[in-house]
Amino acid sequence: MSNAENWYEVIEHKNYLFIIRERLDEVDPRFLTIYTNMYLILGTQKALLVDTGCGLFTLKPIIDNLIGNREL
């Protein structure tokens, strides 16, 4: 995988809750888990991101697209 758009998988669990996943086995096959999950919770004015992942690719464009004009 070569860019942030292809690296992250975004799942809309509810209209205010997104799960953003990274494939840990793509980073190193020795990891015992396949995915790392990040959670984005949208409020009316603000958004909360829980966890920031592995950091291999920038997450900001993905988050900005999901939160719209909310403050992170």
DSSP 5-21: HHH-EEEEEETTEEEEE
Q: Is the pLDDT score of 7 beyond 70?
A: yes
The sign of the CA dihedral 39, 41, 68, 11 is positive
pLDDT, tens digit (0-9, with 9 covering 90-100), for 15-44: 999 999 998 888 887 878 888 899 999 999
Confidence of residue 2 (pLDDT cuts 50, 70, 90): low
Residue 28: what residue type? D
pLDDT at 53: 84
**What whole-number distance in Å separates Cα of residue 72 and Cα of residue 42?**
9
pLDDT at 40: 98
pLDDT, tens digit (0-9, with 9 covering 90-100), for 46-64: 999 998 788 888 899 999 9
> So where are the chain's domains?
4-67
Task: Give strand pairing partners of 18.
Answer: 12, 40
Q: What is the DSSP letter of 64?
A: H
